[in-house]
Amino acid sequence: MKSHAKVVVIGGGVVGCSVLFHLARHGWTDVVLLERDELTSGSTWHAAGGMHTINGDPNVAKLQKYTISLYKEIEELSGQATGVHLTGGVLLAATEARLDWLRGVVSKGRYLGIDLEVISAKEAAELMPLIDPSQFVGAVRNKEDGHLDPSGVTHAYAKAARKLGAEVERFTKVEDIVRRPDGLWRVITNKGEVVTEHVVNAGGLWAREVGRMVGLELPVLAMEHMYLITEDMPEVADWNKKTGTEIIHAVDFDGELYLRQERGGMLMGTYEKANKVWSEFQTPWNFGHELLEPDIDRIAPSLEVGFRHFPAFQKTGIKQIINGPFTFAPDGNPLVGPVRGLPGFWVACGVMAGFSQGGGVGLALSNWMIEGDPGADIWAMDVSRYGDWATMAYTNAKVRENYSRRFSIRFPNEELPAGRPLKTTPVYDTLAAKGAQWGVSYGLEVPLWYAPDGVKDEFSWRRSTDFEHVAKEVATVRDGVGLSEISNFAKYKVTGEGAVAWLDRMLACRLPKRGRMTLAPMLKDDGKLIGDFTLANIDDHEWFIAGSGIAEQYHMRWFEAHLPKDGSVKIEALGQKLTGLAIAGPKARDVLAKVTRADVSNAAFPFMAMARMDIGMAPCLVGRVSYTGDLGYEIWVTPEYQRAAYQALITAGEEFGISLFGSRALNALRLEKNHGSWAREYRPIYGPVEAGLDRFVAYGKDADFIGKQAALAERKQGGKLRLLAFIVDATDADVIGDEAIWHDGVVRGWVTSGGYAHNAKKSVALGYVPKEIADKPDGFEIEILGKRRAARVQAAPLFDANFERMRA
Ligand SMILES: Cc1cc2nc3c(=O)[nH]c(=O)nc-3n(C[C@H](O)[C@H](O)[C@H](O)COP(=O)(O)OP(=O)(O)OC[C@H]3O[C@@H](n4cnc5c(N)ncnc54)[C@H](O)[C@@H]3O)c2cc1C
């Protein structure tokens, strides 16, 4: 074994081998993979080997498509058969709600280049002869579905990587990982030590244990999973003989089942509701090639449905039941990327669909390590989407919920209950007593809307029970004054003698003067967005930044990686050390003026001003800005004072009819102002010109901000895309996000977010299209629940296009 390497990959499952292959293919060949046993000694060897392109997140779906396209290449490179059978498949819907969901999947597929088609149940049964079509209302055909040999694929990656110069050391167990003072890592094994710049944790079933070697508690947990293999079936033999093809794959969402042909019989797997965690706290090191005891009672309810939906199973015997463990993150997507605070330590774990996702994970991670950027939008699998709040018990609750809901519909207005409430603010009980319906953001409970007694969300793809109540909350803001809780923003404090120069380099905006705020895009080296913030200069010494709450860890990882080594700049993520309230609407100033002695007149405290002031008795930091696009104030207050500030505002607001509004009303308000938001309109694949944020980029400032050259080039060339706002001729259902945008009968773009703008009484969608068609006001359509709806470009905001209200 070599004593030094540029990269050490820990784990020879499908994921570790894919990472090794991609690093070598990308030119890093001084790389070694350490495997404690034979390759595939974790969950990889007993996988069912299914692969597909469908994923709830379009960007992950793209990487799944890439993974499937890769198998041919690694087979050729390695000479190792992968056993790929691209049979195609059908996704079956037993209910209309499921068919609506599938229509959304098809719509996404159109701009992702995934060939999907809605078909009838009868047509599905013609493609997959075991189906009883009377059990289904429709289906989707997917041509890029199939299965493979898990061991063959893993060895193909490893052999291809070796051919490119990478090394694989089997029977080499990593026992400890120690960071040296010079930043290099000592990877200590049972066979000696490797010193390396980068460590990749691809430990699969043991990813937690490998994480713990560096003091990291990763939110991953293994679950038991079962599939059965039947005896040979005459129906299968007949079909094979008649058509000369295998029986295609099927996913039966309502039965929570997946099926495929296995030799002369069938394989049926299930994500059962009565699921079971495996090795809750620690994975034994001596586990490897054994299977777990099957428990047919646990999967019996799903099998019962399966036998009804696929009657041929009733007449066949079960040859074998496989029960094996594999890992999940709380939301079921992988954990990939560099770990904040551990330079050179990377993770590629929690991969629950290694044969659909392993290639994409390897590609993204190798790009990230070599180029400094994953090269794709991989937010949905970025390890930084979790913070310290994702504790072991939280992970346990969420993983179980996710497993049991793997094939369940999640409606756009459906909030999942497991692991909640976890983080709450001091006004939580007060708001709950007012009827707050809660969502969750980065572990924190967030009021979505306020329901009268006896009313709650009815889950639906269409407008639902909250519609009229959210409309009232919107009217409260536009006609008088509303109060909302905004503690879910991320808040950062920047101090130190180097703060000004550092902020000037990190952020693309011009720095605001003392007591002022500005919108602050942050760019990567390639000139694409990596953040959008509000930056405030409190007193030339202390700077305040507010940004997307879900991206706190993501942004801190970026900030900290760019801090000067001399300690001249300090940045702190304030989390819930600072809570927030906001008031907005034409009467907002009247309310504020009643509770503070500070002069909050327009002259003394204009738009984009920020100052410390007392609200009632509570010391606060107040900014005159509002995401509602109205006259409004954001009020930052430490938690011990939040209730006092809240009470002062509510009491003062009584005479102005103050009322509460939640984040759904906020969404409706920001939509009629064409305000985008992070992780929806603003993501690391869009440039500022494309996203319409170029007006906040100080292209001419002296400071050489990160991404400046690339941003200048984007401005010159105009980028490729444009973010547009559309008014959609929708009737009872609005866009959710990720729908296809058509132009002149061809799919040209995708929706990023939208909804109903209650004040303007219009259905609004925001989304990206190629710049060449961005100035065409007509010819657009947006697909909602399988129907193309006419959409008109709305260049000017529907509300307060001249910004008079905001600045008044
Ligand atoms: C019953 C079942 C059916 C499945 N069906 C499918 C399917 O149809 N399609 C699909 O895509 N996925 C399926 N999966 C999931 C799939 O198996 C996983 O997604 C995949 O195996 C994850 O691979 P991995 O490389 O991340 O982890 P693992 O396979 O667990 O590999 C981790 C490797 O790291 C090694 N290791 C850990 N710690 C150390 C250390 N300290 N030193 C050295 N080596 C170490 C281990 O020995 C192991 O070989 C199924 C899983 C099960 C259990």
pLDDT, residue 735, reads 97
Q: What pairs with residue 252 in β-bridges?
A: 92, 257
Q: What pairs with residue 348 in β-bridges?
A: 336
Is there a contact between 95 and 137 (Cβ–Cβ < 8 Å)? yes
Residue 133 C-alpha from the chain's centroid: 35
Residue of 205, 283, 399 to mutate, ligand 1, most atoms within 8 A of C-beta: 205
Tell the residue nearest (CA) to atom 33 of ligand 1.
11
The span from the CA of 43 to the CA of 191, in Å, is 24
Return all residues near 117 (Cβ < 8 A) that are at least 6 apart.
106, 140, 141
Token pair of 443 as six digits: 């572990």
- 44 alpha carbon – ligand 1 mean position (Å): 4
Residue of 10, 43, 196, 289 to mutate, ligand 1, most atoms within 8 A of C-beta: 43
Q: Could you give phi then psi for residue 285, rounded to 5 degrees?
A: -70, -20
- 325 alpha carbon – ligand 1 mean position (Å): 8
Token pair of 480 as six digits: 């008088």
Show the ligand 1 pocket: residues with CB < 6 angstroms.
10-16, 34-37, 41-44, 46-51, 173-174, 202-206, 210, 225, 227, 322, 324-326, 349, 351-356
> In Å, how far are 419, 431, 456 from 415, measured between CA atoms?
12, 18, 12
Token pair of 95 as six digits: 């209910």
pLDDT, residue 290, reads 87
Whether pTM exceeds 0.95: yes
Helix (H) or strand (E) holding 562: none
- 12 alpha carbon – ligand 1 mean position (Å): 9
- 13 alpha carbon – ligand 1 mean position (Å): 5
Residue of 44, 153, 218 to mutate, ligand 1, most atoms within 8 A of C-beta: 44
pLDDT, residue 224, reads 97
pLDDT, residue 90, reads 97
pLDDT, residue 54, reads 87
Tell the residue nearest (CA) to atom 47 of ligand 1.
41
Tell the residue nearest (CA) to atom 3 of ligand 1.
47
Tell the residue nearest (CA) to atom 50 of ligand 1.
47
The span from the CA of 737 to the CA of 107, in Å, is 11
- Residue ranges of the alpha helices (H) in 445-535? 467-479, 499-506
Token pair of 663 as six digits: 């984040």
Looking at the CA of residue 49, tell me the nearest atom of ligand 1: 8
- 386 alpha carbon – ligand 1 mean position (Å): 22
Residue entry with tokens 């207005």? 413
Return all residues near 608 (Cβ < 8 A) that are at least 6 apart.
512, 516, 517, 518, 623, 624, 625
- 206 alpha carbon – ligand 1 mean position (Å): 9
Return all residues near 43 (Cβ < 8 A) that are at least 6 apart.
13, 204, 205, 222, 324, 325, 326, 327, 354
- 288 alpha carbon – ligand 1 mean position (Å): 10
Residue of 45, 54, 206 to mutate, ligand 1, most atoms within 8 A of C-beta: 206
First to last CA, the chain: 71
Return all residues near 483 (Cβ < 8 A) that are at least 6 apart.
581, 582, 583, 646, 649, 650, 653, 658, 659, 660, 661
DSSP state of 704: -
- 326 alpha carbon – ligand 1 mean position (Å): 6
Percent helix, strand, coil in the chain (nearest 5)?
30, 30, 40
CA 714-716-721 angle, to 5 degrees, is 45
- Residues of the chain short of pLDDT 70, as ranges, are none
Residue of 209, 321, 326 to mutate, ligand 1, most atoms within 8 A of C-beta: 326
Tell the residue nearest (CA) to atom 26 of ligand 1.
204
- 580 alpha carbon – ligand 1 mean position (Å): 43
Looking at the CA of residue 34, tell me the nearest atom of ligand 1: 43
Q: What is the largest CA-CA distance in the chain?
A: 87
Looking at the CA of residue 189, tell me the nearest atom of ligand 1: 42
DSSP state of 41: T
